[in-house]
Structure 1
Amino acid sequence: MTRPDEGRARPGVPPGGGRLLPLLLLVVGVALDLSTPRDVSAAACFSAAPVVAAPLLSLRGTVLVGVTACATDLGVMAYFGALRDAGAYSGWVTIATMAVLAVFLNRLLHRREMRLRSARGVAVVMQRAVLPQPPPRIGPLLIAARYEAALADAELGGDLYAVQDTPYGVRCLIGDVRGKGLGAIEAATVVLGAFREAAEREPALTGLAEWIEQTLLREAARRQGLDQAEDFATAVLAEIPRPGDRVRLVNLGHPAPLLLLEGAVRPLEPSRTALPLGLAPLGDDTGHVDTVAFPEGASLLLFTDGVTEARDLGGAFYDAAARLTGHIAESPDVLLDTVLADVRRHTRGRVTDDMALLALTHVGGAPAAGPN
């Protein structure tokens, strides 16, 4: 039976130039041996070839490079008539030893990669369970959400979002719990649970923020691990009352949302700063409500700091407002795909933090049933 990885490059290794390096080393080794005096050996090139192949190629490829290196060195020895010279075999033994070690190295890297991929798969399933996709439309609003995990490790982040149709309009939450791993997921679940419960009950956004705040503090006092590892969460609460022509925002230490309309982009900075959720002991401000016009055709884009803190190779942060200026989104889905693709271009694929994004577009039509 053929192993799943045989005959293919190792996952995560781009095709082309990188995988040709072992072959290049073999060619350089042959060229050096044939163009230099007999006492000058290119065994170092032949030894390096299988070691370089180990992280780049499959098991079959690594074995093939090792065998080729050993056979090539024997061919060079035969060319110079050194097959009967016992001393000439010391270099060949070194090459064979490195080839065997390269096979072990390839297997170790493969097992580590499989463990990481398995952990990432479990993480994605857990993240989807915590963050279900919102409905694509509620009344006059088209809605889309994305969660993109960083590739650096398999730990879950505390980024979160939620959308809920309530008697007070469509209410949204975007947030980022401090930390990573199970502690962050635990805290994010607390925040999301409090939002889903209080969004139906609290008539004011500040009351909703206070409810989540008290729930988070209560759970932190009850669970020592949560209190120590996940002290606070930045968040933006948004409310779009019917008929959907305005949006109310409460910003709790979170990156400002963007309002996009006909190619213009407007950052919705809070008129008054407020502490993140979970830091009530440091102050009594549960946020201030800002109301902004939300005309038909406009889109509201909310995101976590994985977007704003994405850096290019020179260390420059991603400026979503500047890069989206002039862009007219056909739909919330297209808008989020555009942002994520642009972040990847900006960072050259070096995304180091999880990103949660939420977009709502006012398209008009019949509003959802319910009181204003």
Structure 2
Amino acid sequence: MRLRRSSEARGWSPPGADGGEATAGASRIGNGALALWLVLLTAVVVTLDAFTGSDVPLIPLLVVLPALASVFCTVRQTTAVAVWVTAVVAASRIASNSSFWGVLFLVGFTALASSLGVFACAARIRHANEVARLRSAAVALQRQILRPLPIITRQICAHGLYEPIEEDRFVGGDIYEVVQSPHGTRVIIGDVQGKGLPAIGTGFAALGAFREAAVRESDLIAVADSVEDAVVRHNAFSAETGEAERFVTALVLGFDGSDRVRVVNCGHLAPRLLRDGAASVVALHRTSVPLGMAELAGEARAAEWVAFPQGATLIVLTDGVTEARDATGDFYPFDERLGRWADHDPEQVLEALRGDLQNFAGGVRRDDVAVLVLNRPSQCGGAADPPGTTAAQRPSP
């Protein structure tokens, strides 16, 4: 069943996803401000040229103005500056009783230099539009890897924080997904070994397998095994192409609407539980090896049940949070800070965590950050129901 994404209902999209070409060619200076600066600079140069006389003519310095305009303005604005400068140079030389050939040479030189400024502006905007198109395509592709949050299903409402280490990308080595299935809601959060495009490729393989298996498989362990197989196949292909093999630490969770959650831990961080104004670490007793390394384990993966009481909030995260460091090298005290926000709603928790983490690390990120805050739809503050939800299927308040 399709998921409801309330962020899309509000028109959410990543920066640069739409309208890239329009903004790429936009002027950074308004017409009024441009005209004011143009008149002022022209007056200064003309005045100085009048004082220096014919011995040191300064009027040719005006050819710098179209070059400056080509960096910040549109083609139309740059053309207007070029025409203005050429006209001012021609008028000043004629007024100074210069020789015909002198006027012709200087006006021709000014027109040529100004034209180069116009062509440079056009080339800049054309290049910016090409980059904007490529960026928009990349964003559209990356949005197919990780969907916008929050995500609402029949069993849970998932808010989240996702910040890749590379600021020019919207996807990094951390992955997450929330899938509504006939067997309840399945959630995965994971951390791919390494960074960069190879890590994104491994993460995409894991996510694709999870999306299929979450709906197909009735048992949560079988879902984890399917993702394991996908990572192994991806590693085999990577080895053939000369790339390094990678593993994925992950938590796979199954929500059936009861007061318990089934968890398969594949070498990942334990969840945190917020309940009655207190935060605690959820103890997991059956931890297996990361995805992609099952052949090294002596036993099959196992699942276990953990408590998820009514009114509680479950937080799953990657080590980009717990292993963040300050200037002295100390790790971020996540559990201590989380206890301060235990009575906050999910969006407040994420906002507080984002700001506190940035202040602690001094704005320096060393790893991708992914956090999912999971609670029941009735705790989502009036969020819309998933499509197809009937009155009988709505969670009771």
Under TM normalisation by the shorter chain, which class is it?
0.5 to 0.7
Please give the alpha-carbon distance, in whole angstroms, between the structure 1 residues aligned to 2:160 and 2:275.
19
Aligned match of 1:30: 43
> Do the aligned residues in 2 keep the contact of 1:244 with 1:294 (CA within 8 Å)?
yes
Aligned with 1:98 (options 113, 126, 150): 113
Provide structure 2 residue ranges, at least 5 long, that are not aligned to the other structure: 1-18, 326-330, 380-390
| Cα offsets for 1:65-107 (capped at 9, x unmatched) | 222222233344456x154374466665454333222222222
Aligned to 1:127: 142
Residue-by-residue CA offset, 1:301-333 (whole Å, 9 max, x unaligned): 55668889999xxxxx9999869955976566x
Q: 1:140 to 1:278 in 2, by over 3 A?
A: closer
Cα RMSD, aligned residues only: 5.7
Distance 1:114 1:238 in 2: 43
Q: Determine which of 209, 213, 226 is the counterpart of 1:194.
A: 209
Q: Distance in 2 between matches of 1:26 and 1:351?
A: 46
Task: Measure, in 2, the Cα distance between the counterparts of 1:327 and 1:42.
Answer: 69
Picking from 95, 99, 118, the partner of 2:133 is 118
Q: 1:135 to 1:50 in 2, by over 3 A?
A: closer
Per the alignment, residue 314 of structure 1 pairs with none
Distance 1:116 1:10, change over 3 A: closer
User: What 5-or-longer segments of structure 1 have no aligned partner?
Assistant: 312-316
Which residue is 2:374 aligned to?
A: 360
- How far is the alpha carbon of 1:162 from its aligned partner? 1.6
Alignment correspondent of 2:73: 57
* Pairs within 5 Å for 1:198-213: 198-199=213-214, 201=217, 203=219, 208-213=223-228
Separation of aligned partners in 1, 2:135 and 2:265: 33
Q: Aligned pair 1:238/2:237, yes or no? A: no
State the match for 1:108 in structure 2: 123
Aligned mates of 1:228, 1:138 — CA distance in 2:
37
Match of 1:72 in 2: 88
Deviation at 1:213, TM superposition (A): 2.9
User: Do the aligned partners of 1:263 and 1:327 also contact (CA within 8 Å) in 2?
Assistant: yes
If the length of structure 1 is used for normalisation, what is the TM-score?
0.64
Structure 1 position 355, deviation (Å): 7.3
Post-superposition CA distance 1:145-200 (Å, at most 9, x none): 6878899657965553222346875331123545555x666533421233235446
Q: Contact 1:163–1:170 (CA<8 Å) still a contact in 2? A: yes
**SS across alignment from 1:231:** coil
Identity of aligned pairs, percent? 28
Equivalent pair of 2:69/2:77 in contact (CA under 8 Å): yes
Question: Cα distance 1:246–1:13, how it changes in 2: closer, same or farther (>3 A)?
Answer: farther
Question: How far off its partner does 1:34 sit?
Answer: 0.6
Q: Does 1:174 align with 2:189?
A: yes
Q: Deviations over 1:97-118 (max 9, x none)?
A: 3322222222222222222222
Equivalent of 2:156 in 128, 134, 141:
141
Could you tell me whether the CA contact under 8 Å between 1:260 and 1:266 is conserved in 2? yes
1:46 and 2:59 aligned: no
Distance 1:260 1:364 in 2: 16
- Asked if 1:217 is matched to 2:217, the reply is no
Counterpart secondary structure, 2:243: helix
Deviation (angstroms), 1:23? 6.0
- Secondary structure of the residue that 1:174 maps to in structure 2? strand
Question: What displacement does 1:137 show?
Answer: 3.4
Post-superposition Cα deviations, 1:263-309, rounded to whole Å, max 9, x if no partner, equal 87778798999875445678779999897654444444556688899
Secondary structure at the counterpart of residue 116 of structure 1: helix
Distance in 1 (CA, whole Å) between partners of 2:338 and 2:185 is: 28
Matched position secondary structure for 1:228: coil
TM-score using structure 2 length: 0.61
- In structure 2, relative to structure 1, the CA distance for the partners of 1:296 and 1:37 (3 Å cut) is farther
What amino acid is aligned across from residue 375 of structure 2 in structure 1?
T
Distance 1:15 1:96, change over 3 A: closer
Higher Rg: 2
Please report how far the alpha carbon of residue 221 of structure 1 lies from its aligned counterpart in structure 2 after TM superposition: 1.2
